[in-house]
Amino acid sequence: MTDLQTVLPPPANNVIDNVDGDDDDGSSTIATKQFSILALYKFLRRGKSQGPLDLPELKTELLEMASKFELKGTLLIANEGINGTVCMPKEHAAEVELFFGNHELYSGIRMRWSNHTGKDAVFHRMFVKIKKEIVSMGVHLETMTAGGGEVHEQDCDDGNPGHPLAGDYISANNWDDFFKKNPDVDLIDCRNSYEVGMGTFTGAIDPGTDSFTQLPSWLENFGHCNERSKPKKIAMFCTGGIRCEKATALAKLMKHKESGEPLFQNVYHLEGGILSYLDKVGSTNEVVDSNSSRDHLKKSSFIGECFVFDQRVSVGSGLKRGTYTLCHGCRAPLSKDNVHHPTFIRGVQCKDCCNISVDESSASGTKRQLSSSDKKHMERQIERQRQFEISQEKGERWGDTCKNFALDAENKWRSIMCKSKIDKS
């Protein structure tokens, strides 16, 4: 494997800070642009008499808006609401905010804005996807008791973007004070383990889940493992708040298997999620300058960075881009230490996947010597990374480079096949 590593050495320190190739010092010949990133969601409170939405028509409307304002990213739409993250040129941010603010269905939507400076948006394409749920937990709340998750007609269109059965909100500015005054409340991180490993709140419980669908069973077991005389009090948090909308709703509906009493006495969650906290408070005990636009001068209980589902990979205080990048071999987030590990090959592998086969049998994680086919695969990945870096230097879009690379490979294959036929004849 050493011979392959020498083909493409690990990147220098500045590459890790700018994993997309953004040159903040202005030395690049390619001009950078200002982008706005919008994370949004809203649960629609619609009564049964209102019937289902015309989702295909709604999808068309959103795609037309996205095309008009140059949006890139993904929006999930369902009868229960909308959820997604999009990126746009900064000059269109006010128009997009106005679109959602005046929309018949989505007025009052929860929005979280952040900024990005780079050559391109943090997403490559725009998708609007029709789903059964805007966030899937694997449990249908409407089938449970305590009202059955049903929204009553009088609760419709009340301006609250959250789930009608969600727990009590705690604002980012009051989050730390709440736990000082309520030390008996258990703090639960609703995110997946790889996200928790990048950063979390002091004292938070990690459920150790690999997907959100594993949280309900963990939560039920956690509620039943109760040595207290009263049901537990819990508070939950996630990236932007939407997972907690459903997780806290589920927690409120859970009953003890034997007594039938509620598993949890009080259920709270962080309003707007970690992104709201990092935007208003900060991370890692940062002291906010008195001239800052943030709301309070205080120490933070969040240590580390927060994983985000776009090319930034992670964000820190003030929602500024963090220090993590992604492994293109296993898609795991990588810290600077991981990137400078001897086995790291940019665009190909990291220390966690370097000895794992690329075929299906590698799912078990069994380490072994790379086969000849694995080495050929690595060589192709290295060549792909080389082409990617060339396209960056030329200022080309990677999608166009991929097409050209694929066409060149196809032409070479056709040439070889034609030559083979001629030789045989």
Known catalytic residues? Answer: 238
Q: In the chain, how long is the greatest CA-to-CA distance?
A: 87
Q: In what order do the strands lie in the sheet with 81-89?
A: 110-118, 33-43, 81-89, 72-78, 126-130
- Residues 162-190 as b/e (b if ≥16 CB within 10 A, e otherwise) read bbbbbbebbebbebbeebeeeeebebbbb
Structure tokens at 317: 């205080």
* HSE, side-chain direction, 13 A CA sphere, residue 400: 7
Give the whole-angstrom CA distance, residue 421 versus residue 425: 6
Give the whole-angstrom CA distance, residue 310 versus residue 265: 37
Structure tokens at 36: 């706005």
Note whether 281 and 250 are within 8 A (CB): no
Give the whole-angstrom CA distance, residue 205 versus residue 371: 41
Q: How far from 385 is each of 288, 325, 328, CA to CA, in Å?
A: 40, 15, 10
Give the whole-angstrom CA distance, residue 357 versus residue 277: 40
Give the whole-angstrom CA distance, residue 172 versus residue 249: 20
DSSP H or E segment with residue 336: helix 336-339
Three-state DSSP class for residue 391: helix
Report CA 250 to chain centroid distance, whole Å.
Answer: 22
Alpha-carbon torsion (220, 222, 226, 232), positive or negative = negative
Note whether 43 and 162 are within 8 A (CB): yes
